[in-house]
Structure 1
């Protein structure tokens, strides 16, 4: 079955499905092979190759005068590349930008863009250009029989299929491109490193990627910023031809300020400052006071970040900025090129360099063969010239007397047609006596060159030696030191919202009816604040604005609020139930602030409790966390802070005037639950509210416990508690008469 249909009228037609498939496939192959992907041999896309070749045809060598870019672009699109002038000019600009190309191919004069805005270049009628010195590695051998020539788009001119690159340019300048169904992302590399790896592979054809990576540790971008991808990850990229790498800006401290001196490849300092400024405006960078761009001609990159105080951790600030701005960037790597077989493929490093060496050796062989043919042709001409010199009278006689001297000369002196033509074209002045010595000297030199060429062409070893010598010479002429240091760094982490908050002292106040607010500082009197009619002060907690406010309700559930979001104490606050969703009828029985590692005692008046931390009490859920399980009839006691003191004692007092003290270490640390028995109270008596715990506290050796019983008060020093010390869970001892009806306590 065929897709071609011939109608009754003889017209040919084709099924729409078959036509569209073929048309799209043809277009895809055109984009892949003739537009988007570089060739392994010279590392250039067609438009780049045509620009370089057109400039060489215009005589724009590195030592020539500059010419208007419009002239070059006109030749490119008029002779070789029938596309838009803006696309051709942008490709030319990219090859001239030292911040885009590791080894620029075009030497530009005028405005060719800046790192902040690579597309800010002037129009092509204003800029001038010529080829850069480095372009020699692509063009030096173009006229020496090394190039396959193809007709241009209209068949009026020939253009090179691939330029005879003397170094693996495909890795040196890198490239990016998007074709149909595939893409390429090759990062730039260092010329000396790539040449050394190529020479090693030339001498050791079975060298592994690991061996080659001893010479090429990683890409080398046209910037001084650090490559922070690990050695193993870079090795994997070169083994598979795919992966990603990261670059990070270089910074330091100067007079307390943070100064960024090098940005990642293709990062804009202007955009980075804008990103940081946006965070400052959104109050997400409270530790940064100011930004400045001090970049100039002497310091191309100098971004100054001014911390708010000298106590700001610069490492922490920069880690946050690395994670949230272009001060750190990732780059995709996809070593997809058109191979010497004309097919696109993702290649490992050793495969890529091995194929390039095949291309290079073939190029050198063709160059030598071309030169050998020229030498042999010249030797034939010199032999003919020598023959004329030795037989000048006879040659002149034949030329003067014969109507057709060429065949007579060929027959008389056993010449080929080319030699006969040369004799006939020879001027009489070349027959002077002094010419004989010149002819003999030139013959001797050419014969020696011919022998050397034949030896090299017949010996793979000599050919490889020549390739190696030329590679090293190119590296010596155009090579430079690595610009991008490779340093393994830990992954940058953005600061959490909590970390970004300022650490200001605040006092959080909760009223009887559950209205909450926050006052700046610790020196306010919460009870003296204004409250709504019928409402009063209940709890206050002192802490910092970046610490959570933790509450516990009458059902034993705990909740947490972001302290910095609480309303100001200048007003009367807002209902805490507007943010939290406690069980119906529940009241709040505790309010506390502190570091997440702060230990507390959570207890019920049934005599049970445990030690926990503020982190274990926090909950992002508005319904809170089930923290304390209450026995029947029991009520929640306010949380008690536990100091970092091994000698501290827990003291529990009941409404019957019993006091029990025991070491803090005897109480277990739990995340939630009922807890262990602190002081022994019968469960039935708790249910009927006949006996219950009045207070639980913790005392250190320097503190005094004060008991309030009506109008009476009794102070007990730490040493006086010794007589009440017993095992946890005991009944405790009765307090002295007059102090048994304890209403409240105080610890100072």
Structure 2
């Protein structure tokens, strides 16, 4: 009626916008619509479509308010896609050329070198070393070990809390100074010290190709509370994470005081701080295939502790200690013969105690004689 009563299109548009809340675009759309099309059937169709859209809007609003319903919808849609397109691939991915795997060691120049480890846990790499006295260490520190190897090998550091850290030689900085703390490369706990270091270079330590038939070199381990054990060294040859690998499990208050490779030794000495010495066969020590507590090596009195250990392979090998008076004492195999593991050992002095076990001198490699 409004359109028919209007004098023209402009008048009709103004009348419609005045009568209804329409904008210009909506008004133009109405004026462009042929009025004869707005039949009762068309009106019913529009109303039905409006009803459907309102119902869909309500469903979507309800869905958005529930995470459970949303994930159910996602699941059903994914299952539908899988049902429709889930048939097996009909073509294969392939290439005629073999893809070479990336090998970081291929970019490392192989050269002979040495890793110096100090008692305070500092490390450095030196390519040439003719004398321990010539390498620089911090005041109050001393050289614990010098391990030889190539830049393609690894250094295994054994700590007093029973953790082994395996670090590639090439990651240890070359230095003519003090080097840097091992703790910069690994997670060394507070108060934990490095007690030994061993190379993985097969020229010095046998490499095991098939560990199911041959365990290879074994580690001999002793703790402050008198526990002993052996464990295969090959378990620690490959580089570790900063957290390291467990090589010994300790009871509360205990710590590892000795960890060395067994090299032709048949027996060992254990010495306690209260001057007790025990000599027993390595055959009595069980071989562990992974980190464990081990067995009792020596029975200690209250307040006593194991000070150190020495392996014996030749008749001339002996235990050398320094007592609380600063005197060096030597204990040979003939006087202190082999007894059973787990005993109290022999009390060597009622007045004096042991302060330190003297370890064999560090042997340096003459690289001019090596390949």
User: What is the TM-score when the length of structure 2 is the normalising length?
Assistant: 0.59
Compute the displacement of 1:602 (Å): 1.9
Q: Contact 1:592–1:639 (CA<8 Å) still a contact in 2?
A: no
Q: Contact 1:660–1:732 (CA<8 Å) still a contact in 2?
A: yes
Deviations 1:103-127 (A, max 9, x none): xxxxxxxxxxxxxxxxxxxxxxxxx
Of 617, 633, 647, the match for 2:253 = 633
Secondary structure of 1:552's counterpart equals strand
Q: Contact 2:119–2:195 (CA<8 Å) still a contact in 1?
A: no
| Unmatched tracts of structure 1, length 5 or more | 1-180, 184-242, 246-328, 332-491
Compute the displacement of 1:562 (Å): 0.8
Q: Which has the higher contact order (CA 8 A, sep 6+)?
A: 2
Counterpart position of 1:117: none
Cα separation, 2, equivalents of 1:530 and 1:540:
13
Counterpart position of 1:143: none
Counterpart position of 1:727: 340
Counterpart position of 2:112: 504
Q: Pairwise mapping of residues 298-697 of structure 1 onto structure 2 (< 5 A)?
A: 497=105, 502=110, 504-510=112-118, 512=120, 514-521=121-128, 523-525=130-132, 528-532=134-138, 534=139, 536-545=141-150, 546-594=152-200, 595=205, 597-618=216-237, 620-645=240-265, 648-670=266-288, 671-681=290-300, 685=302, 690-697=303-310
Q: Which has the higher helix share?
A: 1
Cα separation, 1, equivalents of 2:255 and 2:244:
18
- Name the Cα RMSD after superposition: 3.5
Q: Pairwise mapping of residues 213-252 of structure 1 onto structure 2 (< 5 A)?
A: none
Q: Indicate how the Cα distance of structure 1 residues 569 and 680 shifts in structure 2: closer, same or farther if over 3 A, else same.
A: same
Cα separation, 2, equivalents of 1:717 and 1:498:
50
Counterpart position of 2:321: 707
Counterpart position of 1:424: none
Secondary structure of 2:354's counterpart equals coil
Deviations 1:129-149 (A, max 9, x none): xxxxxxxxxxxxxxxxxxxxx
Q: Indicate how the Cα distance of structure 1 residues 505 and 666 shifts in structure 2: closer, same or farther if over 3 A, else same.
A: farther
Q: Contact 1:603–1:609 (CA<8 Å) still a contact in 2?
A: yes
Secondary structure of 2:299's counterpart equals coil
Secondary structure of 1:719's counterpart equals coil
Q: Indicate how the Cα distance of structure 1 residues 738 and 649 shifts in structure 2: closer, same or farther if over 3 A, else same.
A: farther
Q: Indicate how the Cα distance of structure 1 residues 622 and 738 shifts in structure 2: closer, same or farther if over 3 A, else same.
A: same
Q: Indicate how the Cα distance of structure 1 residues 679 and 551 shifts in structure 2: closer, same or farther if over 3 A, else same.
A: same
Aligned length, in residue pairs? 254
Secondary structure of 1:637's counterpart equals strand
| Unmatched tracts of structure 2, length 5 or more | 1-89, 208-215, 362-371
User: What is the TM-score when the length of structure 1 is the normalising length?
Assistant: 0.31
Secondary structure of 1:497's counterpart equals helix
Cα separation, 1, equivalents of 2:259 and 2:198:
8
Cα separation, 2, equivalents of 1:606 and 1:745:
20
Q: Pairwise mapping of residues 103-114 of structure 1 onto structure 2 (< 5 A)?
A: none
Cα separation, 2, equivalents of 1:718 and 1:503:
41
Compute the displacement of 1:730 (Å): 1.1
Q: Indicate how the Cα distance of structure 1 residues 498 and 746 shifts in structure 2: closer, same or farther if over 3 A, else same.
A: farther
Compute the displacement of 1:664 (Å): 1.2
Q: Pairwise mapping of residues 25-104 of structure 1 onto structure 2 (< 5 A)?
A: none
Q: Indicate how the Cα distance of structure 1 residues 589 and 529 shifts in structure 2: closer, same or farther if over 3 A, else same.
A: same
Q: Contact 1:553–1:589 (CA<8 Å) still a contact in 2?
A: yes
Q: Indicate how the Cα distance of structure 1 residues 730 and 630 shifts in structure 2: closer, same or farther if over 3 A, else same.
A: same
